[in-house]
Structure formats: structure tokens, C-alpha cells
């Protein structure tokens, strides 16, 4: 059996898969990879099922030693590992994949053929950092077994990566309280604040006036743009609370969820309102790109 030893873990490295949907009625958010597109692509490239657990590094990557020969793929942002991104790479027993500070967006995914073989909690290996559900972020010295999630041959030749990671425009559809607002969200650029994490991306910019309407706590989906009383938008991210009481003028489209995972503190973003039909076309195009990797 092959094993991965974390020699260092950078800023924050966690085991992630596509999360644990199905428990929101118990207050458990779906969690999962911050850049699910990178995770799915990485898994497809090494020949895994697309939801196999992989390592997700944040801002600064770690050093990972492989005990035996392995097939890996690095996807998402370039963390300076000196290996080609967006393709499967074969490495030898004892090799160390050394990652450093990001050269692009916030996250880099290290997928390994077979997947990371950690136990699942509520059907998923995803680490919910805030509650500890599914485990904790990696520490130097941790040893992780490689699993048996490979289902087809790896893809060793280069593929076309997804469109630029550094696109500052987030496409959104109308949220449930869109009519409470008058388009203020679309009139300025916002900056990602340092306090952002897997729960939410906190933005700073021109304050959006709080509408007077009465708001009862209701369910909130991934990518919801909430306006709290201080008028500074918060985008709900993978570890978000399942319910919330702030009005939501907009919701990031599914095809741009991965971009949220690539946003770094101090990055600038703006919002573009699109129709539901357009959002679904964007998603279909993304899915088509993904399946060219198989």
C-alpha cells in the first residue's frame, strides 16, 4: 500500500472530496472542495472517480512525500511545485512534491491515483474545518494512505486548462430578496477581506443600504450573497451555515463556484447579473470541458 507523508502543510491543507449533501436538515452544510472543478479535474486526470478525496492546499502549499510510485495531478492554481499542471504525472517512490506560495489563485489541488484513503464521516471524507466534522487540517508528520478509487487509465498528456483563474467578474442570478434592492451590488467593485474563510467570503466596498423588510431566518444555499446590517456583502461558501437571516439580493452561479475557491484576500471582484438560462448554459459548457478530460 502506498502512503503520503506530509513533511510540511503550508498555510492550510485539508482532505476534500465533493462534500456531504443530504444533511442540511440536520444543520450540516455540504462542505467539500473549495475549488470543486480542480478536484474533479484532478481526479479524472489520474483515473479516479471524480469525487475521490484529494489534498487541497490554501495560499501556501506543503511538501508531500510518496512512499511508493504514484500517479498524481496538480490542478487549480500554480503553487510552484515545478511539475506541469492539469495533467497526470508519474512520480517515483520517495519523491517529494514540494509546493510553495501561490503564483495565481488561492487553492491548489493534489490528486493521487487511488484517492486519499481516509475514513468517511456522513458519507464524505471532506474536512469541515470549523466543526471538525470529517477530521482536521493536516499537520506535518501526518501519514495518509492512498486508497483504491482508480477506475480507469490516467490521462498523461496535457489538456486545455479551464478559462483564466484571475477573472474578477462573478456571474450571479437573482436571489430570493432581489426585489428589496435596486442594483447597488452591480455598481462597484469589492475587495476580498482577510477574515474570509471556507465559511464565507467577506467583501469590502461601498455599503449597500439595509432594506427595511422583515426577514425571518430561512435556508441559504452555497454562493448566496448576503447583505448584513453593515452593508458589506458576505458570499456564503462551502462551510456556510445552513440557515441565515440576512437578505440575499443575488447568488453566484454554479459555474463560478470554483472561482470563489480561488479568491485570495485583497483580490478585487465585481458582480454581473445573468439570467437563469445563461447560468445553466455556463454550467453545461463547464461540464462539457470537464468530460474532455476523461
Partner 1 sequence: MATIRLASDRSLLISFGEAVPALACRQAARLTRSLEGVRGILNLHPAYASVLVEFDPRVRSHAEIEALVRAECGVGAGHARPLAGETACPTKERLVEIPVRYGGECGPDLEDVARHAGLPPERVVELHASASYLVCFLGFSPGFPYLDGLPPELATPRLPSPRKRVPAGSVAIGGSQAGVYPMDSPGGWRIIGRTPLALFDAQASPPALLAMGDRVRFVPIPEEAR
Q: Which residues bind partner 1 (CB under 8 A)?
A: 21-28, 30, 121-122, 130-133, 173-176, 216-224, 241-243, 248, 251-254, 276, 279-280, 283, 287
- Residue 192 sits at the vertex; the CA angle it makes with 242 and 272, to the nearest 5 degrees, is 80
- Rounded least distance, CB 121 to partner 1, Å: 5
Q: Where are the beta strands (DSSP E) in the chain?
A: 3-8, 12-16, 54-58, 63-66, 70-76, 88-91, 96-98, 107-112, 143-145, 169-174, 190-192, 200-204, 218-219, 224-226, 234-236, 243-244, 250-252, 268-273
**Beta-bridge mates of residue 5:** 65, 143
Give least dist CB 204 to partner 1, A. 20
Write down the least CB distance from residue 227 to partner 1, Å.
15
Q: How far is the CB of 191 from partner 1 (least distance, A)?
A: 24
Choose among 167, 225, 224, 165: nearest CA to 37. Answer: 165
Nearest CB to partner 1, comparing residues 87 and 259: 259
Q: Which is nearer to partner 1, 72 or 250 (CB)?
A: 250
Give the nearest distance from C-beta 293 to partner 1 in angstroms. Answer: 17
Q: How far is CA 228 from CA 17, 46, 203, 207, 235, in A?
A: 30, 42, 11, 10, 11
Where does 5-55 have alpha helices with state H?
A: 36-46
Is the CB of residue 90 less than 8 Å from the CB of residue 69?
yes
Place of cell 449597500: 208
Task: Quote the least distance from Cβ 257 to partner 1, whole Å.
Answer: 10
Measured CA to CA, the distance from residue 244 to residue 180 in angstroms comes to 17
Amino acid at each position: 500500500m502506498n502512503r503520503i507523508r506530509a513533511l510540511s502543510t503550508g498555510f492550510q491543507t485539508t482532505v476534500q472530496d465533493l462534500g456531504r449533501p443530504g444533511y442540511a436538515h440536520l444543520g450540516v452544510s455540504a462542505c467539500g472542495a473549495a475549488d470543486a472543478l480542480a478536484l474533479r479535474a484532478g481526479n479524472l486526470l489520474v483515473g479516479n472517480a471524480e469525487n475521490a478525496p484529494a489534498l487541497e492546499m490554501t495560499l501556501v502549499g506543503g511538501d508531500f512525500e510518496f512512499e511508493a510510485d504514484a500517479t498524481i495531478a496538480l490542478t487549480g492554481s500554480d503553487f510552484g511545485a515545478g511539475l506541469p499542471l492539469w495533467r497526470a504525472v508519474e512520480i517515483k517512490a520517495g519523491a517529494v512534491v514540494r509546493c510553495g506560495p501561490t503564483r495565481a489563485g488561492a487553492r491548489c489541488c493534489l490528486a493521487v491515483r487511488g484517492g486519499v484513503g481516509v475514513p468517511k464521516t456522513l458519507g464524505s471524507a471532506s474536512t469541515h474545518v470549523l466543526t471538525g466534522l470529517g477530521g482536521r487540517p493536516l499537520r506535518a508528520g501526518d501519514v495518509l494512505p492512498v486508497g483504491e478509487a482508480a477506475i480507469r487509465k490516467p490521462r498523461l498528456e496535457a489538456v486545455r486548462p479551464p478559462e483564466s483563474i484571475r477573472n474578477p467578474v462573478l456571474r450571479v442570478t437573482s436571489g430570493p430578496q432581489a426585489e428589496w434592492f435596486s442594483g447597488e451590488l452591480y455598481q462597484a467593485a469589492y475587495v476580498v477581506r482577510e477574515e474570509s474563510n471556507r465559511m464565507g467570503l467577506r467583501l469590502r466596498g461601498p455599503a449597500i443600504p439595509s432594506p427595511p423588510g422583515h426577514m425571518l431566518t430561512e435556508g441559504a444555499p452555497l454562493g448566496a450573497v448576503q447583505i448584513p446590517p453593515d452593508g458589506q456583502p458576505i458570499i456564503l461558501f462551502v462551510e456556510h451555515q445552513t440557515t441565515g437571516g440576512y437578505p440575499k439580493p443575488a447568488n453566484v452561479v454554479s459555474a463560478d463556484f470554483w472561482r470563489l475557491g480561488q479568491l485570495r484576500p485583497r483580490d478585487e471582484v465585481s458582480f454581473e447579473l445573468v439570467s437563469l438560462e445563461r447560468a445553466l448554459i455556463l454550467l453545461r459548457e463547464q461540464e462539457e470541458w470537464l468530460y474532455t478530460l476523461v
